[in-house]
Amino acid sequence: MDLQSLPLPESFIRACIAKGITSLYPPQAECVNQGLLEGKNQLISIPTASGKTLLAEMAMWARIAGGGKCLYIVPLRALASEKYEEFSRKGVIRVGIATGDFDRTDAYLGENDIIVATSEKTDSLLRNKTPWLSHITCIILDEVHLIGSENRGATLEMVITKLRYTNPGMQIIGLSATIGNPAQLAEWLNAALITSTWRPVDLRQGVYYNGKIRFQNSERPIQAKTKHDDLNLCLDTIEEGGQCLVFVSSRRNAEGFAKKAAGALKTGSPDSRSLADQLRKLRDRDESNILADCVERGAAFHHAGLLRQERTIIEEGFRNGYIEVISATPTLAAGLNLPARRVIIRDYSRFSSGLGMVPIPVGEYHQMAGRAGRPHLDPYGEAVLLAKDAPTVERLFETFIDAEAERIDSQCVDDSSLCAHILSLIATGFAHDQGALASFMERTFYFYQHPKTRSLPRLVSDAVLFLIAAEMVQESQGRLSATQLGNLVSRLYLNPCTARLILDNLKSCEAPTLIGLLHVICVSPDMQRLYLKSADTQLLRTFLFKNKDDLILPLPFEQEEEELWLSGLKTALVLTDWADEVSEKQIEERYGIGAGDLYNIVDSGKWLLHATERLVSTQISELSSVISTLAIRVQHGVKPELLPLVALRNIGRVRARSLYNAGYQDPQSLVNAGIPTIARIIGEGIARQVIEDISGVKNSGKKKYNNDGESREKTQYLT
Ligand code: ADP
């Protein structure tokens, strides 16, 4: 089907042609034939790289041409940025990205034609009654199979259910590569199901054992250049001009493999050396940089412990062909568009608590295998599993290659998330009594999967009882409404259990210590906690021996709760060190974590402290300023005396400390010293900008704040 024959805006067609897209792939043509451009709902379950994004864009441009507005919902922030950039490149239409704080309506975003957002952000926009949501005429659900994900699925399902309720006529497009029960999901969405196994590049799936890859109908010998099978498979592909992705189960394995591959590749290129320099500059320390050392030779590792900028450099470097092999944990398979000629799935079992090592889900295998073969660049793609012995070869074919992906099951009645969603339904006026709540819940995928369930009304009424006891919901003559606290908790996007935990524990505490306060926040269901490792035991024991009395929460008796309590303590200790200006390197070494982990918990801690401050200001106002100061300390990683300095744009923890130690302790002292003196400490450019900012504030009365726009708390330090 010729793209130019379609009723789509000329500018869109021109932009596609410029990218080399002139006609539709067969599954794309099928979607168009089934009414994609006329606003029909579709669940599109087709393989990776078969062009789902283009389908979403065609549907969106068709709606926008008719005066509509589209919401593109993704599971990860990194994917939101990738899609935002991709849609923006076509020009003409206005594209916005919603990734900011959870308690804002982001009214300005409504001016865009397409808004890209994560499901959590969309949920928070719904809870804050964002007006432009009612103008949405098309939603795209990227990676819609994540409705079955234990931790994220419930939010996605509730978001879809709410939007279908408020915007009944809108078009719904679900995109997914791997679903075991697509017909059921399509029926729930009232969507036509489009499935296909067509791929733009032929995919060969096989198992490596004893010097050969066995495919379904053929074999391929692999030369043994080293004693490592996984490495030989890589070198074989690189030698014939391809690239490799190697999936392994842990960060340590990813780093180990990249080092091994770098050792074998040896030389690298001027381009890979320049990438390595970029990586070294990101970490302004003299320490050895293993990632940069590997990249210099054309190998890299990729996992959640890396900084976001590091991951972006690696992804770009791989797309441009400067990096020949990436070893990665499975997070890389979740959505990012990073194909390679050969994908090696080296570790296909994973540790599961209580079960030991279990095979990874078939859906996950297909996600990884689907990355094989770069359209227009590779003649074919190969996905290869590694067998340890002959009997395993057959077993791997059965367990993964020939197996169907798992069914997806609704997660929306899981206890803690159900309470949060019921509160939001009451607070935002979706339902005012138990009957309305039950009939809303009957619109969910859960009810679609369990139409005969008798437990739904009970689950709903248990959640309501919990919310009444938690003083977040009140009932009068059968009518439910949110209390002031309930409204606040819903708007702050807090789990009601988190809010209760914080209020109950801080209320009874006259002068909480820093660690005590952070520990409460870090055990809450909303905190992203660090994993406990056996090496942490000593560190935590030593801390408890000396400082147990600083904690607010007592050590629980139940083993499962104890684990949570201890991992919360580890996370709180990291945040405390960060706020006490311990260097990043020391923190990483002390707790065995990566820079990306530190970034993630600082981000999560900052948001929860901000929410805590809002919570306590209504009930325990005397703690409000303590927490507001702590929130800024955690945000910037500084001791209290640096707060006036980090309020300035482009002054972070390192520059603020240098200025402070040189005797400049507040903005006025910088102005008094003058640009030449300050430039000697923080460089000419920054010194000029900072002093101009401060003078500008004084002259115009307008304030210039530090880089992320979170200015509210900082104003007090600029006087
Ligand atoms: P998916 O989301 O299904 O994994 P993408 O939408 O990322 O796949 O598409 C993979 C690649 O194929 C992209 O580079 C895209 O531009 C390209 N592509 C999509 N449709 C076509 C087409 N009809 N003709 C040529 N290239 C296409």
523/498 Cα distance (integer angstroms): 9
* Residue 426: both structure tokens together: 């009451």
Q: Is the CB of 196 under 6 A from ligand 1?
A: no
pLDDT at 78: 77
In the predicted structure, residue 91 carries a pLDDT above the cut 60: yes
Determine the distance separating the centroid of ligand 1 and the alpha carbon of 51, expressed in angstroms.
4
Of 12, 30, 46, 54, the residue with max ligand 1 atoms within 8 A of its CB, to mutate for a pocket test, comes to 54
Of 21, 194, 367, 371, the residue with max ligand 1 atoms within 8 A of its CB, to mutate for a pocket test, comes to 21
In the predicted structure, residue 335 carries a pLDDT above the cut 80: no
- Closest residue (by CA) to atom 2 of ligand 1? 52
Averaged pLDDT for residues 600-608: 91
More confident residue, 200 or 138: 138
Q: What is the pLDDT of residues 493-534, one digit of tens each?
A: 999 999 999 999 998 877 788 999 999 999 999 998 998 888
pLDDT at 374: 85
Compute the half-sphere exposure of residue 718: CA atoms within 13 Å on the CB side of its CA.
23
Averaged pLDDT for residues 71-91: 87
pLDDT at 103: 54
What confidence tier does 387 reach under pLDDT thresholds 50, 70, 90?
very high
Averaged pLDDT for residues 345-368: 83
In the predicted structure, residue 268 carries a pLDDT above the cut 80: no
- Closest residue (by CA) to atom 20 of ligand 1? 51
In the predicted structure, residue 538 carries a pLDDT above the cut 70: yes
Ligand 1, closest atom to CA 200? Answer: 12
Q: What is the pLDDT of residues 216-229, one digit of tens each?
A: 889 999 998 899 99
Determine the distance separating the centroid of ligand 1 and the alpha carbon of 54, expressed in angstroms.
6
Q: What is the pLDDT of residues 664-714, one digit of tens each?
A: 999 999 989 989 999 999 888 889 998 888 887 655 544 444 533 333 222
pLDDT at 716: 26
Order of strands, edge to edge, in the sheet holding 95-98?
Answer: 95-98, 114-118, 70-74, 138-141, 171-176, 42-45, 192-195
DSSP codes joined into one string, 215-284 = ESS-EEE---SSS-HHHHHHHHHHHTT--EEEE-SSHHHHHHHHHHHHHHH----HHHHHHHHHHHHHS-
Q: Is the CB of 21 under 6 A from ligand 1?
A: yes
> What is the chain's mean pLDDT, rounded?
88
Determine the distance separating the centroid of ligand 1 and the alpha carbon of 62, expressed in angstroms.
18
pLDDT at 285: 56
What confidence tier does 244 reach under pLDDT thresholds 50, 70, 90?
very high
Averaged pLDDT for residues 402-412: 91
- Closest residue (by CA) to atom 9 of ligand 1? 51
In the predicted structure, residue 1 carries a pLDDT above the cut 70: yes
Q: What is the pLDDT of residues 286-319, one digit of tens each?
A: 556 889 999 999 999 998 888 888 888 999 999 9
Averaged pLDDT for residues 327-350: 82
In the predicted structure, residue 99 carries a pLDDT above the cut 90: no
Q: Count CB-CB contacts under 10 A for residue 714.
A: 19
pLDDT at 708: 39
- Closest residue (by CA) to atom 25 of ligand 1? 21
pLDDT at 48: 81
Q: In terms of Cα–Cα distance, which of 525, 220, 517, 246 is closest to 385? A: 246
Determine the distance separating the centroid of ligand 1 and the alpha carbon of 699, expressed in angstroms.
53
In the predicted structure, residue 355 carries a pLDDT above the cut 80: no
Determine the distance separating the centroid of ligand 1 and the alpha carbon of 445, expressed in angstroms.
30
- Compute CA distances 719 → 164, 306, 655, 667, 715, whole Å: 49, 38, 20, 8, 8
Q: Is the CB of 375 under 6 A from ligand 1?
A: yes
Q: Percent of the chain scored above 70 by pLDDT?
A: 94
- Closest residue (by CA) to atom 19 of ligand 1? 51
The ipTM (two decimal places) reads: 0.98
Q: What is the pLDDT of residues 554-589, one digit of tens each?
A: 888 888 788 899 999 999 999 999 999 999 889 988
Query: Do strands 349-352 and 299-302 pair parallel, antiparallel, or not at all (unpaired)?
Result: unpaired
Determine the distance separating the centroid of ligand 1 and the alpha carbon of 21, expressed in angstroms.
9
- Closest residue (by CA) to atom 1 of ligand 1? 49
Determine the distance separating the centroid of ligand 1 and the alpha carbon of 230, expressed in angstroms.
29
pLDDT at 489: 95
Q: Is the CB of 51 under 6 A from ligand 1?
A: yes
- Closest residue (by CA) to atom 10 of ligand 1? 49
Ligand 1, closest atom to CA 16? Answer: 16
645/398 Cα distance (integer angstroms): 61
Q: Is the CB of 28 under 6 A from ligand 1?
A: yes
Q: Count CB-CB contacts under 10 A for residue 309.
A: 13
What is the separation of C-alpha 227 from the centre of its chain, rounded to a whole number of angstroms? 37
Determine the distance separating the centroid of ligand 1 and the alpha carbon of 125, expressed in angstroms.
30
* Residue 661: both structure tokens together: 């130690």
Q: In terms of Cα–Cα distance, which of 153, 71, 145, 148 is closest to 120? A: 153
pLDDT at 34: 95
Q: Is the CB of 304 under 6 A from ligand 1?
A: no
